[in-house]
Structure 1
Amino acid sequence: MVDSNLLKNKLAQLADYLADLQDSQTVSLDLYRNDKKTRRYIERTLHLAIECCLDIGSHIIADNGWREPVDNKDVFAVLAENGVFSQELVPRLQKMAQFRNVLVHDYAKIDPDIVYRVLTQNLPDIREFIRAVERLL
């Protein structure tokens, strides 16, 4: 049985990160590239949002006794296998998990164009994830 209170709290946290990221979409690429505080804020908020998605997914999987994911990318595959959302969303969310690894482990090699593209083009994937989890609850 899914712990709905825990998931509701995590979803609220994720919605807050998403709102912050949506507010940051007005930042120009030039400002993002040249302002250290803006860059760090956006990168860290993206990281936290992705971690939150992974935490939510892991809780759902554990609470339902579904197969254990082999890595972060697999969290989203397991959720889709069990009907939480469509297989169509899986590759987009898996790219998000890979992007999280870049943010966390390859911090010296972060490509500003990629981060900016994620900020301006990929937030709908997080919104879709939120809607899917809300339907589950």
Structure 2
Amino acid sequence: MDAEWRARIARADASLQRLEEIRASCRTLAEYVRDRDTAPLTERHVQIVVEAVLDLANLLIERNAWGAPDSGRKAVELLVQRKAISPRLGKSVITWIHTRNLIVHEYARIDDARLHRALRLHLKALRSAVAILSKRAGIA
């Protein structure tokens, strides 16, 4: 089972690497929107990483018998309550969950400026979440 989880983490890490490359090459919004493939590529990699974070969050909750939250937001709030992650990281992850939900369910409303800003300012939180949750779940 842990081999499957390590594969998920490896995929999330690869997506994080690609997001970091996009962030480095698209310092301005104009650079970000210049290539019509950049935004959809960013959206897909964000979706992959956030899904991995949610999966890891739920695995950690399950392994510790902390309950069964019925949403990603509630899972993150429970992790903060149990001191598995900091309140600051929890807030950032919840913001990313909201972004992922927009990508998946309301893709026509995605604001390129907002996603570019999140990529520029808050990408580190996703990398931290993957690292912390995988370690606490005993996978790293």
Mark yes or no: TM-score above 0.5: yes
Name the structure 1 match of 2:86: 86
Report the Cα offset of residue 78 of structure 1. Answer: 1.7
- 2-structure distance, mates of 1:74, 1:47: 18
Quote the sequence identity (%): 23
Distance 1:48 1:104, change over 3 A: same
| Structure 1 residue 95 displacement after superposition | 0.9
TM-score of the pair, normalised by structure 1:
0.87
5 Å-filtered alignment, 1:17-96, equals 17-25=15-23, 26-27=25-26, 28-96=28-96
Report the aligned-residue RMSD: 1.8
Is this contact kept in 1: 2:22–2:42, CA < 8 A?
yes
Query: Runs of 5+ in structure 2 lacking a partner?
Result: none
2:15 aligned partner, one-letter code: Y
Give distance in 1, aligned partners of 2:91 and 2:70. Answer: 16
Q: TM-score, normalised by structure 2?
A: 0.85
1:66 shift after superposition:
1.5
Aligned to 1:104: 104
Per-residue CA shift, 1:19-41, capped at 9, x if unaligned? 01001111242232242211211
Query: Per-residue deviation at 1:101?
Result: 0.9
Q: Distance in 2 between matches of 1:6 and 1:114?
A: 33
Count of equivalent residues: 135
Which one-letter code corresponds to 1:52 in the other structure? A
CA contact (8 A) 2:52 2:130 kept: no
CA distance in 1, matches of 2:128, 2:85: 9
In 2, Cα distance between equivalents of 1:7 and 1:85? 19
Q: Which runs of 5+ in 1 are unaligned?
A: none
